[in-house]
Amino acid sequence: MYRFQEEIDSCIDCKKCWDVCPVNMVTDGNRFTPQGKIESLAKIVAGEELTKDEYDNIYLSTRCGACDDVCPVSIPIIDIIQYERELLAQQGREPAKTTAISNNIIEHNSPGAKDPSKRFDWITDDLDIAESSEIAYMAGCWVAYSQPDIARATIRLLNHAGIRPMILKEEKCCGLFLLDNGHLEQLAEHAKKFVDYIESLGVKKVIASCPGCYMVLGKEYPKLYRELGFEVELSLNVFKDMIDDGRLKPKKLDMTVSVRDACPVRDSKAVPRSILESMGIGINELFDGKQVCCGGPAGLKPNFPEIADDIAMLTVKGYKDKAEMLASYCPFCVHHMEGACKSKDEEMNIRDISVLLAESVLGGKD
Ligand code: SF4
Ligand code: SF4
């Protein structure tokens, strides 16, 4: 019996996973269902040839978890997809783009091999950043290189609440892409280096802006390496506590938004909504509150750009008859959807919740 065979054999063919999968939503003929993905495992374990659709289907997933959430017999579909990718990589059958991005993370510390000397270009003179502190701020690749206003808003809010965080001068990519693509040995080695470095600074808490970083550091590093000597917290959770205890006092912003929820923290959707409500912002739910991925993660965007962009359009078009803007708390969603809008010639009005909160509490715009 191979790993996961028992779970796959327990499938009752209910097709519930078909309906929630964003890839299946934007492609015809139910060619790329979550159920189809897990049914290929036996062939992959045996090293057999896959048809083109079967092979593509393994990489046509953002590992958003929507299928896991609805499977009535709790088949760990995203773990199986990760395992299939791990096996295909070991068999030398991984897509070249996936290998290239994985190597960028290991060799250059970011998926896009960005210049490490520019990682902290977001820092401006008004930000009060300590040389050393028990609290460290981790911007993450997408914020550091393409959405610096989120990092600045976060530090300004922390400063306002009396916290002077340090930065991690040797900040690394969290490695979510490695996790999604089954590069677990590489990620374990990466985690060891990053964790040892953070602990050597005497840091007791890392505050992350990106839900992906938060999930990978806080939940996956302990599994892949060891228990961490520091806590990991998502910046939104910190802000919610600060609003609750009165350290941050939001003022009303007169607007209505739809929320672009982040898949890695889809079990704590109340937090962003509570922060928006504290600013008097109206919320009209997208997809009736159901989770539909932005379409970018786990290699879907580089390997299948048209499908990834079509999934992004579900959000970009979906919010327009509900609200004047999208409120996001995932920099990768924003990055992917902005790219999709450019290729589809669409407009999108999107703001990050940390940036909105800084505007509400501190006044002015970045
Ligand atoms: S994780 Fe998301 S994209 Fe992947 S198969 Fe499941 S529902 Fe589809
Ligand atoms: S939801 Fe679960 S049981 Fe139903 S078809 Fe999908 S994998 Fe099978």
The pLDDT confidence band at residue 337, using thresholds 50, 70 and 90, is: very high
Alpha carbon distance 131, 205 (integer Å): 15
Q: Is residue 290 a contact partner of residue 266, using CB atoms and an 8 Å limit?
A: no
User: Rounded to the nearest whole angstrom, what is the distance from the C-alpha of residue 189 to the centroid of ligand 2?
Assistant: 34
Q: pLDDT tens for residues 272-302?
A: 999 999 999 999 999 998 999 999 999 999 9
Residue identified by tokens 């191979």 is 2
Alpha carbon distance 199, 219 (integer Å): 17
User: Rounded to the nearest whole angstrom, what is the distance from the C-alpha of residue 265 to the centroid of ligand 2?
Assistant: 23
* pLDDT of the residue at 246: 98
The answer, yes or no, to whether residue 223 has pLDDT greater than 80, is yes
Dihedral-angle region of residue 184 (phi above 0 means left; psi in -120 to 50 means alpha; beta otherwise): alpha
User: Rounded to the nearest whole angstrom, what is the distance from the C-alpha of residue 210 to the centroid of ligand 1?
Assistant: 20
User: Rounded to the nearest whole angstrom, what is the distance from the C-alpha of residue 38 to the centroid of ligand 1?
Assistant: 11
Q: Is residue 64 a contact partner of residue 263, using CB atoms and an 8 Å limit?
A: yes
Amino acid identity, residue 314? Answer: L
Q: Is residue 102 a contact partner of residue 173, using CB atoms and an 8 Å limit?
A: no
* pLDDT of the residue at 365: 77
The answer, yes or no, to whether residue 364 has pLDDT greater than 90, is no
Q: Is the CB of 208 under 6 A from ligand 2?
A: no
Among candidate residues 63, 77, 57, 69, the one with its CA nearest the CA of residue 7:
77
Report the greatest alpha carbon distance in the chain.
Answer: 61
Q: pLDDT tens for residues 50-71?
A: 999 999 999 999 999 999 999 9
Residue 100's CB is within 10 A of a number of other CB atoms, namely 12
Stretch 140-156: mean pLDDT, rounded? Answer: 97
Pocket residue to mutate for ligand 2, from 7, 12, 33, 70, most atoms within 8 A of Cβ: 12
Pocket residue to mutate for ligand 1, from 63, 291, 300, most atoms within 8 A of Cβ: 63
- Write out the two tokens for 166: 């340090």
Q: pLDDT tens for residues 72-122?
A: 999 999 999 999 999 999 999 999 999 999 999 999 999 999 999 999 999
CA atoms in the 13 A half-sphere facing the CB of 259: 25
pTM of the model: 0.96
If you ran DSSP here, which 8-state letter would residue 118 be given? G
Alpha carbon distance 200, 330 (integer Å): 29
The answer, yes or no, to whether residue 366 has pLDDT greater than 90, is no
Q: Is the CB of 13 under 6 A from ligand 2?
A: yes
Among candidate residues 330, 331, 324, 322, the one with its CA nearest the CA of residue 348:
324
Q: What is the CA radius of gyration of the chain?
A: 21
Three-state SS annotation for 170-228? CCCCCCHHHHHCCCHHHHHHHHHHHHHHHHHCCCCEEEECCHHHHHHHHHHHHHHCCCC
Q: What is the mean pLDDT of the chain?
A: 97
Q: Using a pLDDT cut of 70, give the percent of the chain over it.
A: 100
Pocket residue to mutate for ligand 1, from 21, 54, 311, most atoms within 8 A of Cβ: 21
Give the number of whichever ligand sits closest to the CA of residue 35.
Answer: 2
Alpha carbon distance 39, 43 (integer Å): 8
Q: Cα 154 vs. chain centroid, distance in angstroms?
A: 18
Q: Is the CB of 62 under 6 A from ligand 1?
A: yes
- Write out the two tokens for 82: 């990760």
- What domains does the chain contain, in order, with CATH numbers? 5-94 (1.10.1060.10), 113-240 (3.40.50), 250-362 (3.40.50)
Q: Is residue 293 a contact partner of residue 323, using CB atoms and an 8 Å limit?
A: no
